[in-house]
């Protein structure tokens, strides 16, 4: 019995066998069995990347071809249209007239700038250039004969045929595509108009990429390429008649293009033929672009296989540690989710507060804009109140005259003196027009502006502002000295806003001069400066004090009495000027008096802006 217990105890106390370690020999055998799988992986990767590269290159080729054809088609119809211009026809009929040729040169120069063509020139029936858009350049085409060019011969064949030719300019040395069209007078050709399109920039569009661009003409000679050393090289052997044609047309820098040596096995080539020009466009992608990702895939596959073998060897030993790690990660994830949830709640509360603050800020901003508009309108009405006395006087005078002329006309009609009565009625009409003009100026000044930018002429707006203040200026005996250019200066402004700025500045100048005994003067000067217009207004009044210079732009700051003004004039002018992206400068002139400089951006007379109406 004791022996059996001892045996049983010995069996229970024997430690369990240690886990069997993986055998590296078996792993090596497994690696040998799995290694052949890398070969089909390489084939699949090569096929995939080749197809992907072919599709990518096809799309790139389509884009480039569409861009190239778009450039050519944009200028294709231009020679036929320009050939109907009367000035060019007159030049062909009277080629010896210097005035007509000069006019044609300037017209072609203008068309060159508008269309973007490289050169536009007019040739007579002998192929001599009579006028050209580059007539004033050192490499001018004027006087040169291009009768040997194919585009001239094709255009002269008649029946509305359009001449086409690619070549290197004999004069400029620049590559270009030429369109030539005969100019007809009835059924008779009187000359040829040629448009040259610059194709150099089409190469720069390609950029620095591993893929290479190759455009060949009907002779197989490279005319456009992303690699300068390939340019004007032949991609195939040239026949004798093709060499003779090249020598006759002179499209390249060389009469005998050298054969381009290219290892076709090193490139993935796709091509597209352009029937419109007879060209062939090719895109060449280095095979190395395929080899690199294939090697990467194979390397990744090998690394994956090795990692798989290592994982198989270590999986049993790391299984327990992995489960513990998973449990630990699960607890950490739960804690992280709780923290994220708490943080999300905090952010939602903060977001709600921010939305409320943004809403309050927008409401405050809208209220500020409304207050500013009301402030501007109050300034206008204040200025209108100041001008009301002189305006009433201006209206009362013609009203009294109208009444007098009307009474006289009734008496003259009673005495059958119709001619004199008609004269009185004419005077009444003129006085009515004068009153309408005064009221129109007043309405334009008083109406509310919609802040829409427009193209405004400076001189008429200045005349309107002076007209509103003319009576007051004349009553004060103020001499107006104007230094304004005859040409109209166009600025970007609102018509109403510009009148208000000018009226306020002039009214302030008159207020300042009221404190000075005669002689009283106001100087007005306007000039172009950089990309804007600078209007300078100067008076010989007392000028600004130091406090006024610092606070003149503040609303309701004034050195006048409360009955003379609200202190809104310069503040309104400064606000309106900054809204127009301009600048109002306030200073004292070295010779005495105040000087205000108003700078506004120039506006092109040919550009239209939305109207304020």
pLDDT value at position 18? 47
pLDDT tens across 417-437, in order? 888 888 888 878 877 876 775
What's the pLDDT score for residue 111?
Answer: 92
| Cβ within 8 Å of residue 286, ≥6 positions away | 210, 211, 266, 267, 268
Highest mean pLDDT among 87-91, 292-296, 606-610: 87-91
Rg over CA atoms, the chain:
44
Residue 459's DSSP bridge partners are: none
What is the average per-residue pLDDT within 348-376? 82
pLDDT tier for residue 179 given thresholds of 50, 70 and 90: very high
Poorest-confidence range of 133-142, 206-215, 314-323, 492-501? 314-323
- Mean pLDDT check: name the lowest of 65-69, 159-163, 351-355: 159-163
Judged by average pLDDT, the poorest of 20-24, 466-470, 490-494 is: 20-24
Tell me the DSSP string of 501-512: HHHHHHHHHHHH
More confidently predicted of 429 and 391:
429
Compute the residue count for the chain. 613
State the pLDDT confidence band at 3, using cuts at 50, 70 and 90: very low
Task: Please name which of 557, 595, 601 lies closest in space to residue 583, comparing C-alpha atoms.
Answer: 601
More confident residue, 185 or 15: 185
Average pLDDT, the chain: 80
Q: Which residue has the tokens 């699949």?
A: 44
Choose from 62-71, 148-157, 527-536 the range with maximum mean pLDDT: 527-536
Q: Which two tokens stand for residue 294?
A: 């294939």
Rounded CA separation 240/45 (Å): 47
The lowest-confidence range among 163-172, 203-212, 324-333, 562-571 is 562-571
Would you place residue 273 in the very low, low, confident or very high pLDDT band (cuts 50, 70, 90)?
confident
pLDDT digits (tens, 9 = 90+) for 134-178: 999 888 999 999 888 888 988 888 667 888 888 877 777 778 899
Rounded Cα gap, residues 603 and 590, in angstroms: 32
3-state secondary structure of 609: coil
Q: Is the pTM above the cut of 0.75?
A: no
At residue 1 the predicted structure's pLDDT band, cuts being 50, 70 and 90, is: very low
User: In the prediction, which pLDDT does 208 show?
Assistant: 75
Are 79 and 194 spatial neighbours (Cβ–Cβ below 8 Å)? Answer: yes
Peptide bond into 519 cis (omega under 30): yes
> Hey, is 500 helix, strand or coil?
helix
Structure tokens at 541: 């009044």
- pLDDT score of 611: 42
Q: CB-hemisphere CA count at 13 Å for 496? A: 18
Q: CA-CA distance, 223 to 235, in Å (whole number)?
A: 11
Burial, 23: exposed, middle or buried (Cβ in 10 Å; 0-12, 13-18, 19+)?
Answer: exposed
Structure-token match 């510009």, residue found: 498
At 253, the pLDDT band (50, 70, 90 cuts) reads confident
pLDDT at 440: 60
Of 53-67, 100-114, 244-258, which range is least confident?
A: 244-258
Checking if the pLDDT of 250 tops 70, the result is: yes
Share of the chain above pLDDT 70, in %: 81
Which is more confident, 208 or 180? 180
pLDDT in the model for residue 27: 64
Sign of CA dihedral 436, 441, 447, 450: positive
Higher pLDDT, 448 or 573: 573
DSSP helix/strand/coil, 58: helix
% of the chain residues with pLDDT over 90: 17
Two tokens, residue 172? 């400029």
Q: Is the pLDDT of residue 2 over 60?
A: no
Query: What pLDDT is recorded for position 453?
Result: 65
Residue 169 confidence (pLDDT): 75
Residue 502 or residue 158, greater confidence: 502
pLDDT at 10 over 60: no
Render pLDDT for 11-53 as a digit per residue (tens, 0 to 9).
444 444 444 444 566 667 767 776 777 778 778 877 888 888 8
Q: What is the pLDDT of residue 14?
A: 45
Q: Which residue has the higher pLDDT, 364 or 609?
A: 364
pLDDT at 576 over 70: yes
pLDDT at 289: 78
Report residue 232's pLDDT band, with 50, 70 and 90 as the boundaries. Answer: confident
Taking 90 as the threshold, does the pLDDT of residue 103 lie above it?
A: yes
* Mean predicted confidence (pLDDT) in 177-182: 91
Q: Please name the residues in contact with 208: beta carbons below 8 A apart, sequence gap of 6 or more.
A: none
Q: Domains of the chain (ranges plus CATH)? A: 77-198 (3.30.450.20), 202-288 (3.30.450.20), 451-601 (3.30.565.10)
pLDDT of residue 392: 63
Give the confidence band of 450 by pLDDT, cuts at 50, 70, 90: low
In DSSP terms, which residues pair with 179 in a beta bridge?
164, 195
Please tell me which residue, 405 or 213, carries the higher pLDDT value. 213
201-210, 417-426, 441-450: which is most confident: 417-426
């Amino acid at each position: 019995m004791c022996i059996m217990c001892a045996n049983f105890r010995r069996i229970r106390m024997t430690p369990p066998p240690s886990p069997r370690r993986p055998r590296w020999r078996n792993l090596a055998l497994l690696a040998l069995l799995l290694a052949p799988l890398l070969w089909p992986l390489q084939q699949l990767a090569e096929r995939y990347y080749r197809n992907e590269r072919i599709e990518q290159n096809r799309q790139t080729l389509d884009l480039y071809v569409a861009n190239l054809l778009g450039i050519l088609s944009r200028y294709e119809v231009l020679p036929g249209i320009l050939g109907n211009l009367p000035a060019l026809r007159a030049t062909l009929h009277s080629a010896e007239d210097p005035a007509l040729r000069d006019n044609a040169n300037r017209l072609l120069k203008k068309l060159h700038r508008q269309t973007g063509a490289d050169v536009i020139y007019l040739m007579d029936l002998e192929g001599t250039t009579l006028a050209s858009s580059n007539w004033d350049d050192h490499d001018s085409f004027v006087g040169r004969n291009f009768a040997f060019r194919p585009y001239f011969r094709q255009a002269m064949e008649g029946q509305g045929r359009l001449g086409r030719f690619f070549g290197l300019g004999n004069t400029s040395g620049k590559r270009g595509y030429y369109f030539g069209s005969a100019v007809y007078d009835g059924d008779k050709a009187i000359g040829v108009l040629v448009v040259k399109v610059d194709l150099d920039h089409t190469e720069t569009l390609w950029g620095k990429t591993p893929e290479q661009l190759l455009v060949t003409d009907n002779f197989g000679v490279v005319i456009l390429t992303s690699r300068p050393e390939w340019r004007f090289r032949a991609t195939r052997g040239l026949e004798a008649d093709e060499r003779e044609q090249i020598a006759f047309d002179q499209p390249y820098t060389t009469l005998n293009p050298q054969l381009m040596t290219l290892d076709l096995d090193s490139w993935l080539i796709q091509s597209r033929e352009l029937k419109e020009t007879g060209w062939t466009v090719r895109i060449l992608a280095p095979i190395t672009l395929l080899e690199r990702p294939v090697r990467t895939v194979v390397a990744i596959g090998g690394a994956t296989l090795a990692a798989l073998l290592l994982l198989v060897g270590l999986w049993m030993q790391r299984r327990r540690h992995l489960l513990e790690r998973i449990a630990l990660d699960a607890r950490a994830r739960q804690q992280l989710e709780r923290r994220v949830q708490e943080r999300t709640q905090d952010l939602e509360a903060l977001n709600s507060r921010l939305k409320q603050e943004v809403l309050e800020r927008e409401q405050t901003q809208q209220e500020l804009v409304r207050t500013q508009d009301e402030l501007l309108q109050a300034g206008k009405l204040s200025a209108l109140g100041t001008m009301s006395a002189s305006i009433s006087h201006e209206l009362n005078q013609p009203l009294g005259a109208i009444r007098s002329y009307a009474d006289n006309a009734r008496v003259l009609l009673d005495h059958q003196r119709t001619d004199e009565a008609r004269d009185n009625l004419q005077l009444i009409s003129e006085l009515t027009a004068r009153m309408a003009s005064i009221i129109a100026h007043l309405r334009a000044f008083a109406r509310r502006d919609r802040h829409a930018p427009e193209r405004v002429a400076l001189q008429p707006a200045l005349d309107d502002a002076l007209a509103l203040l003319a009576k007051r200026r004349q009553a004060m005996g103020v001499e107006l000295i104007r230094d304004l250019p005859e040409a109209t200066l166009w600025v970007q402004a609102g018509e109403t806003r510009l009148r208000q700025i000018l009226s306020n500045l002039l009214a302030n100048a008159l207020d300042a001069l009221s404190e000075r005994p005669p002689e009283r003067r106001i100087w007005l000067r306007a000039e172009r400066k950089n990309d804007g217009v600078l209007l300078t207004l100067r008076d010989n009044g007392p000028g600004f004090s130091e406090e006024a210079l610092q606070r003149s732009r503040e609303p309701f700051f004034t050195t006048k009495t409360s009955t003379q003004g609200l202190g809104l004039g310069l503040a309104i002018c400064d606000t309106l000027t900054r809204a127009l992206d301009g600048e109002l400068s306030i200073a004292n002139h070295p010779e005495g008096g105040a000087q205000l400089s108003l700078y506004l951006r120039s506006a092109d007379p040919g550009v239209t802006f939305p109207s304020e109406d």
